[in-house]
């Protein structure tokens, strides 16, 4: 319609049975649109919901280790951490020291590097291990290859669900 005064625009909107919506009020001159407000808000909400569906929410999982951990317990915790990484989660790993264990922080760093080496095939180190109070903290994230495998697995699982739905409709 071109540049029209606000009074004229309101008059035109009333005549046609629409609402005047400011699309870009800070522009010079402000940009407005004649729309049905209910329909406009409905479409806006629908677009937001679609955008949310496509988002992947990344959780930060946490695993705590003790300095005096047995090999079997270490393997069990590493297996659990591996599952977290395979599911695309970020990890906060802690090695916590109690009492006199603070005198052996070098053993804590050795344990941290042992954990990192065990998980290096599916995850990478984001922050180097560092002491924070009585805890040795470091972060890991899944590698790009791990994320690709996860997406492929989810797509494959989604196709299986669709196949089951089609099969039930035929029956």
Model confidence over 95-124: pLDDT tens digits?
Answer: 999 888 889 889 999 999 999 999 989 889
CATH number of 60-147: 3.30.110.10
* Mean of per-residue pLDDT scores for the chain: 84
Q: What is the pTM of this model?
A: 0.59
**pLDDT of residue 170 exceeding 50:** no
- Phi first, then psi: give them for residue 150, nearest 5 degrees: -65, -45
Fold of the domain built from segment(s) 6-54:
Ubiquitin-like (UB roll) (3.10.20)
Which sequence spans correspond to the domains of the chain?
A: 6-54, 60-147
pLDDT of amino acid 21: 83
Instruction: Provide the β-strand partners of residue 169.
Output: none
- Calculate the alpha carbon distances from 58 to 85, 90, 142, 148 in Å: 11, 7, 11, 15
Q: Mind listing the pLDDT tens digit for each residue in 44-63?
A: 899 998 888 777 677 788 99
Q: Which two tokens stand for residue 30?
A: 């402000």
């Amino acid at each position: 319609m071109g540049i029209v005064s606000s009074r004229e625009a309101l008059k035109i909107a009333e005549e046609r049975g629409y609402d005047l919506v400011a699309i870009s009020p800070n522009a010079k001159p402000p940009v407005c649109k004649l729309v049905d407000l209910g329909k406009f808000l409905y479409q806006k909400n629908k677009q937001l919901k679609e955008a949310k569906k496509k988002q992947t929410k990344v959780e930060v999982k946490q695993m705590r280790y003790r300095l005096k951990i047995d090999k079997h317990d270490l393997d069990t915790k590493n297996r659990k951490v591996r599952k977290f990484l395979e599911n695309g989660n970020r990890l906060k790993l802690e090695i916590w020291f109690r009492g006199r264990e603070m005198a052996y922080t070098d053993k804590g760093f050795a344990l941290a590097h042992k954990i990192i080496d065990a998980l290096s095939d599916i995850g990478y180190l984001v922050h180097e291990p560092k002491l924070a109070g009585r805890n040795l903290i470091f972060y890991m994230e899944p590698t790009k290859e791990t994320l690709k495998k996860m997406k492929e697995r989810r797509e494959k699982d989604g196709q299986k669900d669709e196949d089951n739905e089609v099969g039930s409709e035929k029956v």
